[in-house]
Copies of this chain bind each other. A is one copy, B any other.
């Protein structure tokens, strides 16, 4: 039976969206696991999640799906959106089918084992108990790189999964420029009078912080009819479809920054997910472009807007009246400087927007080496510490706040870290472009009105989903590729002014 293009495309949509249903259900189960599940539920939940993931994977690697995609790729008469979907799905299919089922199962099993070992080792500050599991994970990731294939450095095969188009050559250049340009800036800062951020380290009660976090999300334009916020120990954003995108935050009553930055960061991710085309549910055009683009959205809100004066123009008086005894006598300038304090630290997730890149660079350099060269796994903590000393000028007090701090390697996520820096850099480039080229956006921002900014992001980024790669998007919007000088200029102007 010969099927028409429409029939074939409908079949493609049916299979892809069915897989999305399983993945969306898994996301609900994952969300619940992090925020509400009683401890007893863990075992059953793990097997339910595994069944959902396996079923989605089977659909998306099936022979029928491959045939439908190949047929459609050869057809004329598809719309631009349909063509983008088929092109991306075909890329995914080709990537997914390169990994044999038994390899996927082995990787999944090793991820569970490795995660448990990592969590225990981190708690007990005992890298040695985790080392053999990590070593085995690295061996699997090397094999994955070989199975997927690559040009140049084997790391390219891994980073491409998270950031299509990114590679070692481009990342080396990027981190090199960051090192050269940001190092002198952080050196200047460390020679200045240090910023006092004690105003953020007072007692702020939980409920008031929570209420304030809701206000922040509302001001950003997060749609509570298509989402909600809950508490989670490790904040995250998750989407079950563009009409149900949830954020989580954490509250530390002694540190106002925990709630604040996690709320704004996750809010930025969530605005992206809420802005994806709803009609393209489960299809590439209904999905995020890449992790780097995702991070560009969270970082644009967290750093460029959240640590700017614009947001606080409106929010600081409200914050003062919420916490009069803590902040009533703290001037706007003192608060502004406090939220922009720069200082080297051990923990990546708590780093300021400048030293953050050095945290990422440490991980990037180590990952590249682990994938390409035989490495004695027991030397990893020393390597980590020496790179922290070299890039940040400090040596972690323990492996728990050093090489054991991140879950990524235990999860098998090699190649993920660079997307954090890429996101910050894209964010600065987009932000500067918008503020300089779009007077309406800049003017509104000066009135603490973020609606034009969000509308612009929706129109130029969110609405396209995965139609374009991060690089293509960047060129379309700003007229040039990712260019680190935008971040450098943004950072230099901002921090030279703060640190005089």
Residue of B nearest to A230 (CB): B36
Please report the C-alpha to C-alpha distance between residue A226 and residue B39 in the assembled complex, in whole angstroms.
Answer: 7
Query: Is A439 an interface position by the 8 A CB rule?
Result: no
User: Is residue A121 within 8 Å, beta carbon to beta carbon, of the partner chain?
Assistant: no
| Contact call A225/B45, Cβ cutoff below 8 A | no
Question: Which A residues are closer than 8 A to B by beta carbons?
Answer: 17-18, 21-22, 24-26, 28-29, 32, 36-45, 47-48, 51-52, 55, 223-228, 230, 240-241, 243-244, 281
Query: For residue A25, which residues in chain B have a CB less than 8 angstroms away from its CB?
Result: 25-26, 28-29, 48, 51-52
Chain A interface, >50% SS class: helix
**Are B18 and A51 closer than 8 Å at their CB atoms?**
yes
CA distance A105 to B343 in the complex (A): 62
**Contact yes or no, B243 A40, CB < 8 A:** yes
A51-B42 Cα distance, complex, nearest whole Å: 24
A230 to B38, CA, bound (A): 12
CB-nearest residue of chain B to A19: B51
Q: Are B29 and A44 in contact (CB under 8 A)?
A: no
The answer to whether A244 touches B44 (Cβ under 8 A) is yes
Contact (Cβ within 8 A) B38 A228: yes
In the complex the two chains form, what is the Cα distance from A223 to B40 in whole Å? 10
Q: Given that A29-B28, A32-B32, A55-B55 are known contacts, is A21 also in contact with B48, CB under 8 Å in the complex?
A: yes
How many copies make up the complex? 2
Query: Which residues from B are CB-within-8-Å of A22?
Result: 51-52
What CA separation (Å) do A18 and B51 show in the bound complex?
Answer: 7
Which residue of chain B lies nearest to A223 when distances are taken between CB atoms in the complex?
B40
Contact of A224 among B17, B24, B38, B45 (CB under 8 A): B38
The reply to whether A39 and B225 form a contact with Cβ atoms under 8 Å apart is yes
Chain B minimum-CB-distance residue to A224: B38
Known A48-B21, A240-B44, A240-B45; contact A228-B36, beta-carbon cutoff 8 A = yes
- Asked whether, in the complex, the Cβ of B24 is within 8 Å of the Cβ of A244, the reply is no
Report the minimum CB–CB distance from A111 to chain B (whole Å): 19
Assess whether B224 is in contact with A41, with CB atoms less than 8 Å apart: no
Residues of B within 8 A of A243 (CB): 38, 40-44
A391 to B22, CA, bound (A): 49
Partner of A32, one of B28, B44, B55: B28
| Nearest neighbor of A243 in chain B, beta-carbon distance | B40
Closest 7 CB pairs of A and B: A41-B244, A44-B241, A40-B226, A21-B51, A40-B243, A21-B48, A40-B225
